Amino acid sequence: MINADPALIGDLVNANHILYRHGVVDGFGHVSVRDDANPDRFLLARNMAPALVTTTDIMAFSLDGTPENDERQPYLERFIHGSIYRARPDVGAVVHSHAPSVIPFGVVRGVTLRPIYHMSSFLGGPVPVFEIRDAAGDDNDVMVRDVRLGDALATSLGALPAVLMRGHGATIVGSNVRQAVFRAVYTAANAGLQAEAMRLGEVTYLSEYEIARSAVTNAAQADRAWNLWLREAQG
Ligand code: MN
């Protein structure tokens, strides 16, 4: 039995559909929220394609990734979510994706994903890359399949909004699910645009001041994109 606010579960279902609409997830990838009624657990769909998720597919998990009174098959990489919620009390939602545009930035040495325009100013960290071989050794299957690897990923993320995963994808967090979705969509967009710009020549990135100021402006517009994307996803 899930006691979370039905509006939170509704946002989580909608987030699954929006992320699919924007190509951030396909048959794979997932999005979770922290349970507002119990911060020591999180909500995540059962193992299925995000575009097909409905409210009855949502499961509850403790932060070590154990399903709560639920026999359905969970996502293998649910540990990504639990470890980040444990390490980051400020995080209310987590998106894990294999968005194609971000993959090159995780595998090419010396190239860093950075904010190329104001919509992705939150990437001003700059974005770290998680090397799973450092935690799992050379003989690994690239999957974050247990708490130890989830904790290693959370360490790479640190206090930032996004971490790339070498040869795998990215994990993006937000204080709530709408912010996490916004960031996941614009992380993928930034990666595509940055790769395109780098092919053309030397790139001028946002300055530290531009990063800080545009982040403030974007924060005041959070629901604007969500409301549009929701209607698209429902239409
Ligand atoms: Mn994955």
Using the mean position of ligand 1's atoms as its centre, give its distance from the Cα of residue 155 in Å: 17
Using the mean position of ligand 1's atoms as its centre, give its distance from the Cα of residue 95 in Å: 10
pLDDT in tens, 125-146: 889 999 999 999 999 999 999 9
Angle between helices 147-157 and 79-87 (to 10 degrees): 50
pLDDT band at 219 (very low <50, low <70, confident <90, very high): confident
Quote the pLDDT of residue 3.
Answer: 83
The average pLDDT across 47-52 equals 98
DSSP one-letter code for 27? S
Quote the pLDDT of residue 32.
Answer: 98
The residue annotated as part of the active site, out of 77, 131, 202, 210, is 77
Q: Is the pLDDT reported for residue 174 higher than 90?
A: yes
Quote the pLDDT of residue 222.
Answer: 79
Using the mean position of ligand 1's atoms as its centre, give its distance from the Cα of residue 32 in Å: 14
Using the mean position of ligand 1's atoms as its centre, give its distance from the Cα of residue 168 in Å: 6
Using the mean position of ligand 1's atoms as its centre, give its distance from the Cα of residue 98 in Å: 6
Quote the pLDDT of residue 1.
Answer: 64
Using the mean position of ligand 1's atoms as its centre, give its distance from the Cα of residue 71 in Å: 22
Quote the pLDDT of residue 62.
Answer: 98
Distance between CA atoms of residues 7 and 78, nearest Å: 22
Using the mean position of ligand 1's atoms as its centre, give its distance from the Cα of residue 22 in Å: 17
The average pLDDT across 202-225 equals 93
Instruction: Work out whether the CA dihedral 73, 75, 76, 79 comes out positive or negative.
Output: negative
Residue 42, classed as helix, strand or coil, is strand
Is 210 among the catalytic positions? no
Domains of the chain: 6-228 (3.40.225.10)
pTM: 0.97
Distance between CA atoms of residues 29 and 88, nearest Å: 21
pLDDT in tens, 81-126: 999 999 999 999 999 999 999 999 999 999 999 999 999 999 998 8
